[in-house]
Amino acid sequence: MLSSVLKALSCGAILVGLVSASQVTDGSEVTEAAQVPKRPNILFVFSDDHAPHAIGAYQGHLGFGQWLAGVDTTPQIDRLAAQGMIFTRSYCGNSICGPSRATIQTGKHSHANGYLQNGNRFNGDQVTFPKLLQKAGYTTAMIGKWHLQSDPQGFDYWDVLPGQGAYYNPKLIRADGTRVVEGHCTDIVTDLAVSWLDEAKSSDKPWMLMCQHKAPHRTWMPAARHLDLWADEDLPVPPTLFDKHEDNASGARTAEMSIERHMELFYDLFVGTKDGTVPKGGSALDGSGRRNLARMTPEQRAKWDAAFGPRNAAFHAANLEGDDLVRWMHQRYLKNYLRCIRGVDDSVGRLTKWLDDNGLAENTIVIYASDQGFYLGDHGWYDKRWMYEESMSMPFIVRWPGHVAPGTTNDALIQNIDYAPTFLDIAGAAIPEDIHGTSLLPVFGGETPEDWRDALYYRYYEFPGAHAVPKHYGVHTKDEKLMFFPELDAWEYYDLKADPDELQNLFHDPAKAGAIAKLGVRLGELRAQYGDK
Measure the CA–CA gap between 247 and 252, rounded to whole angstroms.
9
Q: Per the domain annotation, does 484 fall within a domain?
A: yes
Task: Centre a 10 Å sphere on the Cβ of residue 311 and count the other Cβ atoms it contains.
Answer: 14
Residue 492 and residue 472 in one domain: yes
**Closest among 305, 295, 329 to 227, alpha carbons compared:** 305
Domain CATH number, residue 499 = 3.30.1120
Residue 22 and residue 163 in one domain: yes
Helix (H, G, I), strand (E, B) or coil at 168: strand
Residue 206 and residue 344 in one domain: yes
Report pLDDT for 401: 96
Residue 15's alpha-carbon distances to 76, 105, 154, 200, in angstroms, are 27, 24, 25, 21
Q: Per the domain annotation, does 302 fall within a domain?
A: yes
pLDDT tens string 3-43: 333 233 333 333 333 333 333 444 444 444 444 448 999 99
Q: What is residue 453's DSSP assignment?
A: -
Q: Per the domain annotation, does 253 fall within a domain?
A: no
Extract the residue ranges of the chain whose pLDDT is less than 50. 1-37
Residue 446 and residue 462 in one domain: no
3-state DSSP helix/strand/coil % of the chain, to nearest 5: 35, 15, 50
**Closest among 118, 422, 424, 130 to 110, alpha carbons compared:** 118
Report pLDDT for 279: 66
Residue 157 and residue 88 in one domain: yes
Residue 513 and residue 432 in one domain: no
Report pLDDT for 285: 64
Count: domains in the chain: 3
Measure the CA–CA gap between 471 and 219, rounded to whole angstroms.
25
Which residue range forms the structural domain that includes residue 279? Answer: 224-240+258-333
Domain CATH number, residue 357 = 3.40.720.10
Whole-model pTM: value is: 0.92
Q: Per the domain annotation, does 25 fall within a domain?
A: yes
Provide the CB-side half-sphere exposure for 282 (13 A, CA): 21
Domain C-terminal end among 333, 355, 372 = 333
Measure the CA–CA gap between 182 and 299, rounded to whole angstroms.
12
Domain C-terminal end among 316, 333, 350 = 333
CA-CA-CA-CA dihedral for 288, 291, 293, 297, to nearest 10: -120
Residue 42 and residue 63 in one domain: yes
Residue 356 and residue 387 in one domain: yes
Residue 83 and residue 144 in one domain: yes
Report pLDDT for 222: 98
Report pLDDT for 13: 35
Residue 235 and residue 274 in one domain: yes
Domain C-terminal end among 425, 454, 483 = 454
Report pLDDT for 23: 39
Q: Per the domain annotation, does 250 fall within a domain?
A: no
Q: Per the domain annotation, does 351 fall within a domain?
A: yes
The pairing of beta strand 85-87 with beta strand 408-410: parallel
Residue 320 and residue 354 in one domain: no
Report pLDDT for 51: 98
pLDDT tens string 438-459: 999 999 998 899 999 999 999 9
Report pLDDT for 533: 87
Residue 230 and residue 270 in one domain: yes
Report pLDDT for 274: 75
Report pLDDT for 195: 98
Q: Per the domain annotation, does 407 fall within a domain?
A: yes
Q: Per the domain annotation, does 247 fall within a domain?
A: no
